[in-house]
Amino acid sequence: DKIKSLLIVVESPTKARTIAKMFGIPGKRFVGSYVAYETVIAYDGKIFLATIAPSMGHVLDLVNDDGLHGVSLSGSSVTPVYATLKRCVNCGHQFTEELQACPKCGSIRLRDSRKILEALKKIAREVDEVYIATDPDDEGEKIAHDLYTVLSSVNSRIRRIEFHEITKHAVLKALDNPRDIDLLKVSAQIVRRVDDRLVGFEISKMLQEDLGKRWLGGGRVQTPVLRWVIERYNEYERGRGYLIKTYLPNGLRIDYFLESREDALKLRDEVIKSGVTIRVLETFEKEVNPPPPYTTDTLLTDVVRELRISPTQAMRIAQDLFESGHITYHRTDSTHVSGLGIEIAREYVEGSGLTEIFNPRTWGDEGTHECIRPTKPADSIDEDEFFMSNLTHLHKRVYQMIFRRFIASQLKPSRMLYGRLEAYLGGKRVELELPLKILKEGFTKVYFTRTYEDLAGAEVVRYVPTKVDVIKASKTPLLTSAEIVRMMRERGIGRPSTYAKAIENNLRHGYVILSKKRQYLIPTKTGIEVLKYIQERCGVLTSVEFTRYLESLVEGVRAGRVSLNTALTYLLSEVVVLRTSREVLKIRAEHSEMPVVEDLALQEEDKY
């Protein structure tokens, strides 16, 4: 019993390779063109002859050609119907139909998860036990359940293991703590996927048929995001004017908005001629706490803003860093720091001579996940590892952002001098509150905070601007991806794994575009047309309030308060509302006395 053969199934080849390399130089096993990694895991008198194999993500998905968009209704029972997932190598499109070519681009270069499952079944037959180590969230639990369903036909000894970071310590701990698959988590993910499918397919079908554009699509979460973008754009248009941006030698920029271009140019000339005068009205000391470690939404916010990349790209980079063993699991809304995380911070702090300002914190309450943090006390990715992997300079920068933020969260507050100031630009007055000086270092030793020390101790300072620009602007700025992510978190729609997807779907369908310089989200005519259509026909079902309610339904399923069948029946009833609303609109064109669609949908919502 001391020596066992194991199949450990993970999602990606990168994760499989990372784990295998922790225990020496791994061998490769080929099953046709499929590649798995073989290694020996020896610890505490145990020896595992392990084959670590990737599932390549999801292996099953809802079919399109059975029941209602893949959901079958028989009597009072609602059953999702699944088939193996096919991926087009050429365009990345995924589908479940048995086709010889991609329905989107026509390419015959297809990958069927059936071949992956056959390879996994072959290996599973030969080993003593199978451990499924997919990601530690609802989606990972559903993938684990799908794999269990397929592999249990050839091996009955299948367990679930999970780790929140890919390190040797975490892997060994997981091997010592196998468990059964959590069917409540699986059910919660089924509800999410069925909701995405039913509502998304129904709205997409309506859009494509009624607006005559086959590429249009809709969804429950992406529609509120589109509405926010359009509402902010309308506010932007109503507040159009001109912004005078004045740059000072100390790095400070002062903005002033005017509606008239003539007034803006006049003020610019005054500022260039007379300079900028800043008067220090009062100074006061303030203890500033460090920010908490990153969660998914705060990481996306900072990465998108600082690196000017899309949320989807930012999530892909975080996924790569997790799978290569550099950071903890990146889909989390928790700021909690584990004891291991604190020890990693302690080791770095002591080695960097910062022991005097070390102030360990656990931050949030312990939950399912931990914060996003580094897995070792290294402030940068090792150069040899960097060049030997597929990581880029963007991966390096994101890792450094995560590392600095985490270490800062484990340091003492900083004592700072702040100033309340008034700045005069020509005849215009602007009030400011700025950090002037760091009086006592704390977290600011590793986490940059801009200060304006030339104003500390001064009463009046006059500056000659280095540059003064006048640009077209608005009182209300356009939204950025970072702000959308923050709004989704604050308003309780979406989840860490879908924040980026909701924005990306709107971009992909051509509903919004990104401005090149500042990455502002700007709605297109198509996006405005689509939102108007959706609000007229299914505004209630795609509202923020209703979307938030569906999140609570998923939580009820996960907690065991709502049965899977009840939840799926509820989702099917939504399709009835959508289809009925559509028919009512058609009838209203001929019979003006019919009730309005919004009232009908609200009545249906109350009935549920």
Interhelix angle for 183-211 vs 544-558, to 10°? 150
Whether CATH 2.60.510.20 fits 240-289+414-474: yes
The string of pLDDT tens digits covering residues 478-511 is: 999 989 999 998 998 888 888 899 999 999 999 9
C-alpha distances (whole Å) from 6 to each of 49, 119, 166 are 6, 15, 18
Prediction pTM value: 0.88
What CATH number matches the domain at 187-237+480-607, 1.25.40.10, 1.10.460.10, 3.90.1150.10, 3.40.50.150?
Answer: 1.10.460.10
pLDDT value at position 594?
A: 47
Q: Which residues pair with 108 in a beta bridge?
A: none
pLDDT value at position 589?
A: 64
pLDDT value at position 122?
A: 97
What residue spans in the chain does CATH classification 3.40.50.140 cover? 1-181
pLDDT value at position 592?
A: 57
What residue spans in the chain does CATH classification 1.10.460.10 cover? 187-237+480-607
pLDDT value at position 598?
A: 46
296-409 CATH: 1.10.290.10
What residue spans in the chain does CATH classification 2.60.510.20 cover? 240-289+414-474
Which of the following is catalytic: 148, 236, 329, 399?
329
CA atoms of 197 and 71, how far apart (whole Å):
9
What residue spans in the chain does CATH classification 1.10.290.10 cover? 296-409
pLDDT value at position 14?
A: 93
pLDDT value at position 583?
A: 73
State the CATH architecture for 1-181.
3-Layer(aba) Sandwich (3.40)
Q: Mean pLDDT, 10 residues at a time, over the chain (608 residues)?
A: 90 95 94 95 94 96 89 86 93 90 91 95 97 95 97 97 94 96 96 91 89 88 94 96 96 96 96 96 96 94 91 93 94 93 97 96 84 95 76 94 98 97 94 96 95 94 96 94 91 86 93 89 96 87 86 93 93 80 69 49 42
Nearest to 385 by CA among 91, 35, 109, 18: 18
Instruction: Report whether 186 contacts 148 (CB < 8 A).
Output: no
Torsion (CA) 543, 544, 550, 553 in degrees, nearest 10: -140
The string of pLDDT tens digits covering residues 71-105 is: 988 888 889 999 999 999 998 889 999 999 998 89
Catalytic site includes residue 329 = yes
